Structure 1
Amino acid sequence: MASEDDSVAPSPSGDSEPFNVEGYARYRGRTMISRLLFIAERCSDPESQMDALRLAYMKIKRTEDTQLHRRVVKMTNGRLGPEYGLDQAWIDDVDRRMAHGKDELQKDVSDAQYRLYEEGIRRALADFGDFYYSHGHLADAFEKYVQSCDYCTTEDNTIQMYLRVILVSIELGQFSYVSHYADKAMKASCSLSPLTVGKLLCASALAYLHGKEYKLAACKFVEMRRALGIRYTEVVTPLDIGTYGGLCALASFDRTELVKKVIDNGVFQNYLEFVPQVRELIIDFHERRNSYSIKSTLEKRRKRGRSEWRTLVGDFSSANVLPRLDFHGEKEEDRRQECSEQ
């Protein structure tokens, strides 16, 4: 969303803030590794780059994903020393176990299909999808998860399989599938748990965000359930929800909507507590504080902020937020006067 020049900053968090790479990667599973590699690719601070690559290397060795292992080794380019080099013995061992596991799982699927046992077919296909997912074969995992949906015999099984399809679709960047299966899951049951509803709202919001439909994304983010909290960190953290939801609301809501859906929304305020800068921008906009100071804050954050600030704020600043800061008929001389008084 930002230009190539904007995607790299002198430091990932600003000159005055110490940057803890491990503390920043507050995710689970493959998403944590993806974030670490993102930091290593985008951050121009060599120490932070090496910290991210070192941690990613160790995390990947706890998985079965040899493709990611090769990628991180290529990115380190020998800069971390021989102990962070290509581990061919580990790769060969993983590949051997994968070949054996694939044969066993295919046998399980065939046996269940021969017996026409729907629940057995569903479990076997879901296990096959999990197997491919753990090895980083995301397209194959997606295919098995989708196939398993056809053999679900309970609402709970259906919802769980839809959530797996959504997870791998997000990683593949296939957001049309994310939106489709989130909608299907919402309609599949009348008794979804608050946690499941939160996950589905989050998935829909991310799909809208990817499509730059900021108001629709904001509406989903601000509906977020308290139950979600830190229980969907294989996809997002509370900081992400506060950042994305707050900026989408600032980009698309008028002041009445900001009050009703954001400022007076106790649950979403909990997420904004993780990003006080976003909360303050929303309050400044609502209270008609001078547009110059808000623009300056956005620009400062775009240049010096963390990666999600640099990409999202870079896009919003140029296309959405800044044009709206010429406040509703407010005269230019009034704005200059307000600035001079402050």
Structure 2
Amino acid sequence: MAAAIEDSALFREARGRGRVIVTEQPRIDLENYIASYVGPTRLYRYMHIASTSTFLALDALHAGIKEVKEGFNTAVYLQLVEMLAKVAPDDPLAEVDAEWMDDRIKMVKVLTDRLEGELKTYKNNMIKESIRMALEELGRHYMELNDYPSAIRSFTKMREHCTLPKHISEMTILLIQAYIHQGQWSSVMSNAQKVHQLSLGREEKARLSPVLDACIGLSQMQMRSYAAAARSFLAVDPAYIAVVRSDSNTGAGPSSAHNQGGLAASAGRHDFQRAILTPNDVALYGGLCALMGMDRAQLRAEVLSGGAPFRQFLELEPHLRRAITLFCGSKYAACLEILESFRPDWLCDVYMHDHVGQIIAHVREKSVVEFFQPFSCVTFDELARTFVPPPGVKIEDELVDMIQRGALPARIDLVDRLLIAPHTPPRQEIHAAALEMTPKYEHNLRLRLLRLNMIGAGLELKQPKGPHAVHVERPGVEHSVMADTQMVEGGDIYQPG
């Protein structure tokens, strides 16, 4: 069955676009994985998994179609049905339910007209708070319908009707969610930084700061600034985890919005920690970005140490914590083995899919450099045993590529099949150090000569003996003068010069 799905039109088109396809069976349990999320992100993750994993494609499409038909998102429904038709044309769900489509389109029109009518009434009454809330409901409604440009326009109009900094922060968080779903990462970062600059209360700031740091980290990761993303994710307060635990204790489930009977009462009503990024996502993204952008000393101090706040996030992903621990312990082969074993799972993540290959490849390069550093030469066979190359790639070709890019300072002996560290003679090192020190030494000498010349010319200012006297010494002349003083406001005395 998996082989037939792998050869389906959906995955043939994906390969044609250069998309990485997962043909191995992932470790994730689809139902438990999706249960961690609420709102539109559930549907997007269903679609991503269906277009990535040949093993989970059918299950993801069936579950996605069943869930989307409980709501009003006709656009995503059509996309899911089209994908299923390419994977399993004979599946009963692969045909568009025209009756459901007509019914939902009518219901959406009625609800949209009602929300717009309420907004118009509130505008006529000129009540700012009512207008703000009506615009918020309308924006959430558009988000549920996958109409993010309209949602962004509604949320932006809320700004002139916000009377408190708290209202501005709530409006900006909604804008950030819409921009994340659209993939406008520069807008996500700029809006998150705006909220950081607001004058909020202590409790409100403590609640929003972890969310904003997670948003900035996600946008930096999507823009491939992995070191900066690691810093942002490491700055996320562990209170981010407590929000999800308290939400799960209240019994809020993924379908609670539909049970409440309100279309706009879905993703926007839930915490950001379930609507966009869960604490497990923060642990995964932050751990991998830190593994790529930090050295071993930084990882020990800022990620693995008991006092590091991010250590609490890593407890949620023990395999990733173990991989980082192995890397810091110079057990590079075991670290890379864990990363490779979880590659299929991470490829099924909607935000990590495009970065997994680059991150693991960079960690592999760092491991090779760290492994080779204590030795003067290492055989190719030893390197191949420690760092098993990908299928169809020779270890020497990989080393040549690293040397040409400047990632590995070494030379290759193809006759004896050795990787040799560059030998620098001690005399050359001493000469290089002397040449580096010469400009600094010359600069210091020039400053000393300048000082001696100034003293010889009588330009030195000595410490005054009296409270307001300045002694001026010139060659052949020595006298004491009262310094010109000027009283300034507050009674202080200003001595010019």
Q: Fold-level match, TM-score > 0.5?
A: yes
Q: How does 1:161-176 map to 2 (within 5 A)?
A: 161-176=171-186
Query: Which segment drifts farther, 326-335 or 166-175?
Result: 326-335
CA distance in 2, matches of 1:332, 1:154: 65
**Do the aligned residues in 1 keep the contact of 2:52 with 2:347 (CA within 8 Å)?**
no
Paired AA for residue 10 in structure 1: T
Distance 1:233 1:223, change over 3 A: same
Higher relative contact order (Cα pairs below 8 Å, separated by 6+ residues): 1
Among 208, 213, 218, the alignment partner of 1:206 is 218
- Larger strand fraction of residues: 2
The 8 Å contact of residues 7 and 307 in structure 1, kept in 2 or not, is answered as no
1:90 and 2:100 equivalent?
Answer: yes
Tell whether the 8 Å contact from 2:213 to 2:235 is kept in structure 1 after alignment: yes
Whole-Å separation in 2 of the counterparts to 1:24 and 1:63: 20
Shift of 1:4: 6.7
Contact 2:176 2:191 in 1 (8 A): yes
Displacement of 1:234 in angstroms is 0.9
2:47 alignment partner in structure 1: 37
Asked if structure 2 preserves the Cα contact closer than 8 Å seen for 1:303 and 1:310, the reply is: no
SS at match of 1:228: helix
Pairwise CA distance, 1:30: 0.9
In the TM superposition, 1:1-342 aligns within 5 A as 7-13=20-26, 17=27, 19-25=28-34, 26-45=36-55, 48-77=56-85, 79=89, 81-82=91-92, 85-190=95-200, 191=202, 192-229=204-241, 230=244, 231=271, 232-264=273-305, 265-289=307-331, 291-302=332-343, 307-308=348-349, 311-318=354-361, 320-325=362-367, 326-327=369-370, 329-331=373-375, 333=377, 336=382
Residues in 1 aligned to 2:210 and 2:226: alpha-carbon distance in whole angstroms = 18
User: Given the superposition, is the C-alpha separation of residues 111 and 195 from structure 1 closer, same or farther in structure 2, using an over 3 Å criterion?
Assistant: same
> In the TM superposition, what is the alpha-carbon distance from 1:205 to its structure 2 partner?
0.7
> How far apart, CA to CA, are the structure 1 residues paired with 2:277 and 2:47?
16
Shift of 1:112: 2.9
TM-superposed CA distance for 1:300, in Å, is: 4.2
Give the Cα separation in 1 of the matches to 2:117 and 2:342.
Answer: 54
For 1:238 and 1:270, locate their aligned partners in 2 and report how far apart those are by CA, in whole Å: 10
Give, in whole Å, the separation in 2 of the partners of 1:6 and 1:295.
23
The alpha-carbon deviation at position 130 of structure 1 amounts to 1.2
Unmatched 5+ stretches in structure 2: 1-14, 245-270, 387-497
CA distance in 2, matches of 1:162, 1:235: 15
Taking the aligned partners of 1:133 and 1:259, their CA distance within structure 2 comes to 42
Identity %: 23
Question: Does the C-alpha gap of structure 1 residues 297 and 331 become closer, same or farther in structure 2, counting only changes over 3 Å?
Answer: farther
Counterpart code for 2:81: V
Residue 28 of structure 1 aligns to which amino acid in structure 2?
Answer: V
| Alpha carbons 1:302, 1:311 under 8 Å: kept | no
Distance (Å, rounded) in 1 between the aligned partners of 2:131 and 2:182: 25
From the superposition, tell whether residues 236 and 10 of structure 1 become closer, same or farther in structure 2 (CA, over 3 Å).
same
Larger radius of gyration: 2
- d(CA) in 1 for partners of 2:211 and 2:338? 31
Inter-partner Cα distance in structure 2 for 1:109 and 1:225 = 38
Shift of 1:85: 3.6
Shift of 1:103: 2.5
Aligned in 2, Cα 1:149/1:260: closer, same or farther, shift over 3 Å?
farther
8 Å CA contact 1:11, 1:304 repeated in 2 = no
SS in 2 for 1:98: helix
| Cα drift, residue 173 of structure 1 | 0.3
For 1:322, the aligned partner's letter is: R
Matched residues in 1 for 2:159 and 2:222: separation? 25
Q: 1: CA distance between counterparts of 2:353 and 2:131? A: 46
5+ unaligned residues in a row in structure 1: which ranges?
A: none
For residues 157-204 of structure 1, the C-alpha deviation after alignment (integer angstroms, 9 at most, x for no partner) is 111111110111100001111111111111113423433221111111
8 Å CA contact 1:201–1:221 kept in 2: the answer is yes
AA of the residue aligned to 1:277 = H
Aligned to 2:426: none
C-alpha separation in 2, matches of 1:3 and 1:251: 29
Task: Supply the distance in 1 between the matched residues of 2:47 and 2:61 (Cα, whole angstroms).
Answer: 7
Q: Can you list the C-alpha shifts for 1:104-123, whole angstroms capped at 9, x where unaligned?
A: 32233333333332222211
Q: 1:306, CA displacement in angstroms?
A: 5.0
- Contact kept, 8 Å, 2:323 with 2:336, in 1: the verdict is no
The number of equivalent residue pairs is: 330
Instruction: Report the Cα distance in structure 2 between the residues aligned to 1:147 and 1:52, rounded to whole angstroms.
Output: 37
Q: CA RMSD in A?
A: 2.7
SS in 2 for 1:160: helix
CA 1:151–1:172 in 2, change beyond 3 Å: closer, same or farther?
same
1:117–1:6 Cα change, 3 Å: closer
- Give distance in 1, aligned partners of 2:166 and 2:193: 15
- 1:304 Cα offset (Å): 7.2
| Greater fraction helix | 1
The structure-2 alpha-carbon separation of the partners of 1:280 and 1:225, relative to structure 1 and needing over 3 Å to count, comes to: same
Residue 96 (structure 1) shift: 1.4
| Inter-partner Cα distance in structure 1 for 2:17 and 2:281 | 22
Q: Any conservation in 2 of the 1:263–1:269 contact (CA below 8 Å)?
A: yes
Contact 1:57 1:84 in 2 (8 A): no
**In 2: Cα distance, 1:184 partner to 1:305 partner:** 31
